[in-house]
Amino acid sequence: MAIPDTRPVRAFLEERHVTIASEVGALAREIASRPEPQDDDAARIEARALLAQIGAAGWFDPIRRQDWRGCCLAREALAAASPLADAIFALQGLGTLPILLSENGPVRDRWVDAAIAGRAMAAFAMTEPEAGSDVAAIGTTARREGDSYVLNGTKTYISNAGIADFYTVFASTDPTAGGKGISCFVVPADTAGLRFVRPQILSAPHPLGEIAFEICRVPAANRLGEEGRGYALGLRTLDRMRATVGAAACGMAARALAEACDHARVRRQFGKPLAEFQLVQEKLARMATDLTAARLLVYRAAWAADNGASRVTLEAAMAKAFATEAAQRIVDDAVQVLGGAGVMASHPVDRLYRAVRALRIYEGTTEIQHLVIAGQLMQDTGA
């Protein structure tokens, strides 16, 4: 089974996307042959290696072009091969897109080319101990002092913490204004006052951690956009990237489905292959149907973004909510079809089982997506 398979979503793709799918699929197969890191230290080393490999192959370029269908195809292929490789792609997008959207020329010149080439690793520093889904509750402050801002605060659950070359950071420049007082800054990793506090260990290999800003002085020229517009910039970034999370979920689900089908064909019980048992067939049919529905929602959202929609809030929320929840079900069903083999740490489906769960949380939980969808429906119906 080729991942990504363009046939079910061909109506949303151009001919060049079929070529993209084939080429990024070839890279993903190379990445799939790499051994999985066994601990956090190894994951941090492997993350840098994957960054260089993906960058050298040119597969961060859809981020620069803001080709969202291209980004979805890349994430679908990478997630099927290596959830860690997909995470590296996601963070290059999250950390770099605010720079592209803000049109800050000097910051763009300093970081974007290096990030797209895989020479500089990005991080997106928004989440805090008391600010997760409630982004407006950010407590990190940025106080203006002449030509600089002084940052103080803590960020947690930050992917690439401790190994990133630059952090796209959200901080409050006016704590009395809530979301309208948040600004966005690019902070190089070697800035005095920026400290890697500790790693935070996930069940799946993934460099995650906590960082702190302690009288961290950042040039005002590193601010992205106008003061107080960081919250809007962050939401716009997430609005564009959210459908690609659904694409990653589809990649993991497609790999799990392929592994389940292969196993069902060859594994024999009670004198015949598992694939001949109707209860197994029912699982496989439901998995395939869920996956196709998820992919259609994902590529509809990406198609809308690529065709000039100013916001794809509803489409992206539906895509992420459905695709990530469906992927969780599909991977779980794959484990059930594989039986004991599916819970062996050496099996790809076990790796997917550990990795897929986080997709329902980051970049907006499923519950938040449902609130977004309902809010959009109320606006559209005039309620």
Residue indicated by tokens 């790499």 = 34
Spell out the SS3 assignment of 84-102: HHHHHHHHHHHHHHHHHHH
Domains of the chain: 7-116 (1.10.540.10), 122-227 (2.40.110.10), 232-381 (1.20.140.10)
- Summarize pLDDT for 22-34 with one digit per residue, the tens: 999 999 999 999 9
Active site residue 227: no
Q: Which of 76, 128, 210, 363 is catalytic?
A: 363
- Summarize pLDDT for 329-368 with one digit per residue, the tens: 999 999 999 999 999 988 999 999 999 999 999 988 999 9
pLDDT for residue 15: 95
Q: Please give the average per-residue pLDDT across 281-301, as a whole number.
A: 98
pLDDT tops 90 at residue 310: no
Q: Are 355 and 90 in contact (CB under 8 A)?
A: no
pLDDT tops 60 at residue 1: no
For residues 56 and 123, give the distance between their C-alpha atoms in angstroms, rounded to a whole number.
Answer: 19
**Predicted structure pTM score:** 0.94
pLDDT for residue 288: 97
pLDDT for residue 382: 64
pLDDT for residue 348: 93
Question: Tokens standing for 319?
Answer: 């895509």
For residues 244 and 239, give the distance between their C-alpha atoms in angstroms, rounded to a whole number.
Answer: 10
pLDDT tops 70 at residue 369: yes
pLDDT tops 60 at residue 293: yes
pLDDT for residue 76: 97
- Summarize pLDDT for 174-206 with one digit per residue, the tens: 999 988 999 999 999 999 999 999 999 988 889
- Summarize pLDDT for 224-262 with one digit per residue, the tens: 999 999 999 999 999 999 999 999 999 999 999 999 999
Residues 6+ apart with CB under 8 A from 125: 155, 158, 167, 168, 169, 170, 187, 211
